[in-house]
Amino acid sequence: MGELLEVYEASTSASLAQYKATHASSISDVSGYWSELAKSKLTWFAPFSEGLSGSFEEGSVSWFAGGRLNFVGKENETAIIWEGDEPGNVKHISFHELKNEVCKIANALKSAGVTKGDVVTLYMPMVPELCYTMLACARIGAIHSVIFAGFSADAIADRIQDAKSKWVVTASAGSRGGRNLPLKTICDAAVKKDRCVGVVEKVFVFDGKGETGSDWEVQDIHVKMTELVAAQRPVCSCEWMDAEDPLFILYTSGSTGRPKGLVHTTGGYALFAMHTTANSFGLSQQTAASTDGPKDVYACVADAGWITGHTYIVYGPLLNGCSTLMFESTPMYPDCGRYWDMVQRHKITVFYTAPTAIRSLMRFGDEAPNKYDLSSLRVLGTVGEPINPAAWKWYFDVIGKGRCAVVDTYWQTETGGHVITNLPGITPMKPGSCTLPCYGIEVVVLESATGKEIETTEAEGVLAIKQPWPGMARTCLGDHQRYLSVYMKPYPKYYFAGDGCRRDKDGYIWITGRVDDVLNVSGHRIGTAEVESALVAHMAVAQAAVVGLPHEIKGQGICCFTTLTDGHTESDDLIKELRQAVRTQIGPFATPDMIIPTSALPMTRSGKIMRRILRKIAAGELDSLGDTSTLLDPSVVDTLSKKVEQAR
């Protein structure tokens, strides 16, 4: 990864120089920079008195104190293009309709007793009602907590209990990839658990597609939401919120431990979502103020249950007045051409997905994308993990036809929005690097042992942010000490992101993986992402996950788990070849000690590999696996530990 010096020009160097000047001035006075934007971009009921106050150390950051606001939208343009599970099942929802639906749901919630500051748990399929209900909560000042519709009853119950959520909104059922999602049944199982009894007052159930499999046995708890909403007036005055009032809470993916309920605010988050969406995807010129000129058709195909869906399906595009696509299905349904079929049908201009999706589609070759007209595309985005250069190039060449910018957006649930990314048409791209910091974000690299800021351009260490920004999470719900100890205390005066990185001679950031994942092999620090990238570059490898292994001599050894592409089977020769591939690409010091081909890896439901589980499997510590509630398929643990035993 580090050896790839290819640079893909974005445009002229003049615009990069302009970016650098704007960025430098934005971080020389972050309070002033964000205050100006907040005044011009958001509508305030009462003006704020102060931009930034508080500090990382005290965990007291506040933006736009005293200001009061709520969101207002445009009227007749398309707000949401909804693409249902079955291809061609499409709805266009204008901003006017969106506002009416949001008001009706807001009134329905209010009529049942939901008030400002209450936590409303949403366990919904990817249907427009999910987006309406999120915004309805925002309108009345309730705090939404969206739980991805793939989670189990236990995971829902944990989150309901943690957030003391009196209200739950679900649908009778949903469908995804042609399969029925019995959401109400799962939700009922959660609500009936001891830890939720007495917490939950009402479960609002929208009519959904498919069988519910569960009757209305708990009449005093269940509310037929579709009927209740239909009875409401489409007018509901909004609650004027303090800029620092919580807008929502969201639990992290759980890749590294017990999920944290992060709290995001009304003013700062909204501004940050809006600003980063416009900049990172180059929307500003096209949709912000002017109504003429080409319009973007923007599609983020994440699930609304993750932060990517919150910021880049719902809040970011809608606050910019840009139409946003909501996708109910999967990239594989009915076949691996689904995304590209959608691009052609909706003339999508901005398409945003994750490396795991790109890698899995790449396995099927170029035939599917080549069948469709992809000429509407202008910007391609990626998020969630470091993207290996081979997948980046496939995305750039085969999907973008070498014409589109690929924006590699680095951020976290905690950051609320992008903090490092290239800007289309401005930043020259290097495959695998998320490039340069966003406006108003001061990124630094710290020595991991001492926490000293590394001043030289070329640097290797841990990634940190030096000054507060409006979109940062303000606390972990009900556990401010955890917030302080995870993000603020490891390196006092900095926000610690938990990721390792390298900064190259051009100041470009390369994420090397979670700090916990950096290996120390005979004194060499090796990023797991680098070894994975070397493996995935081999034709036979679809996915790779690399973890450390206790090793008597080297301290740590390298253990690689790989899934194989179609047409390849595991053999000793293949393992030798893969070992050689890592030696050639990185160096003999990175020679894997163990390579385990497998048919599946432990994934979170958001599609990330759970390396902490693999570490335990590699070390044979099966009795201390930790929280496995976010694991998609728990049976892989057994299969893999048997394979590791055999390989020893």
The piece of 21-29, 228-236, 253-261, 398-406 that touches ligand ATP (CB under 6 A) is: 253-261
- DSSP assignments along 294-325, one per residue: PPPEEEE-S-TTSHHHIIIIIIHHHHTT-EEE
> In whole angstroms, what is the distance from residue 392 CA to residue 397 CA?
9
Regarding 435 and contact with ligand ATP (CB under 6 A), the answer is no
Of 83, 101, 296, 408, the residue at the interface with ligand ATP (CB under 6 A) is 408
Regarding 78 and contact with ligand ATP (CB under 6 A), the answer is no
Number of residues that bind ligand ATP (CB under 6 A): 25
The nearest distance, CB 186 to ligand ATP, in angstroms, is: 21
- Site map (CB under 6 A) of ligand ATP, residues 277-316, x = contact: ------------------------------x---------
> In whole angstroms, what is the distance from residue 240 CA to residue 232 CA?
21
The piece of 237-245, 283-291, 388-396, 408-416 that touches ligand ATP (CB under 6 A) is: 408-416
Q: What does each C-alpha distance from 151 to 147, 187, 407, 605, 606 come to in angstroms? A: 7, 10, 29, 8, 10
Output 196 or 463, the one with its CB closest to ligand ATP: 463
Chain positions 586 to 615 lying near ligand ATP, rule: CB under 6 A, are: 608
**573 touches 615 (CB < 8 A):** no
Of 410, 483, 487, 494, the residue at the interface with ligand ATP (CB under 6 A) is 410
For 424, the 3-state DSSP assignment is coil
The nearest distance, CB 501 to ligand ATP, in angstroms, is: 9
Regarding 356 and contact with ligand ATP (CB under 6 A), the answer is no
Regarding 437 and contact with ligand ATP (CB under 6 A), the answer is no
CA dihedral sign of residues 596, 600, 605, 608: positive
The nearest distance, CB 158 to ligand ATP, in angstroms, is: 13
Regarding 81 and contact with ligand ATP (CB under 6 A), the answer is no
The nearest distance, CB 258 to ligand ATP, in angstroms, is: 8
> In whole angstroms, what is the distance from residue 449 CA to residue 447 CA?
6
> In whole angstroms, what is the distance from residue 344 CA to residue 15 CA?
31
The nearest distance, CB 472 to ligand ATP, in angstroms, is: 12
CA dihedral sign of residues 480, 483, 484, 488: negative
Output 206 or 483, the one with its CB closest to ligand ATP: 483
- Site map (CB under 6 A) of ligand ATP, residues 311-340, x = contact: ------------------------------
State the DSSP H helix or E strand holding residue 102, giving kind and residue range, or none if neither: helix 95-111
The nearest distance, CB 580 to ligand ATP, in angstroms, is: 27
> In whole angstroms, what is the distance from residue 473 CA to residue 563 CA?
35
Would you give the distance in Å from CA 305 to the centre of its chain? 9
Q: What does each C-alpha distance from 627 to 17, 336, 644 come to in angstroms? A: 47, 33, 21
Of 118, 296, 499, 530, the residue at the interface with ligand ATP (CB under 6 A) is 499
Q: Which residues contact 640 (CB under 8 A, 6 or more apart)?
A: 561, 596, 598, 602, 614, 617
Of 337, 417, 471, 498, the residue at the interface with ligand ATP (CB under 6 A) is 498
How many residues make up the chain in this entry? Answer: 648
Q: Which two tokens stand for residue 561?
A: 């788990």
Of 222, 338, 514, 611, the residue at the interface with ligand ATP (CB under 6 A) is 514
DSSP alpha helix (H) spans, 586-635 = 611-619
Of 35, 107, 232, 256, the residue at the interface with ligand ATP (CB under 6 A) is 256
Q: Which residues bind ligand ATP (CB under 6 A)?
A: 252-257, 259, 307, 383-386, 408-413, 434, 497-499, 511, 514, 608
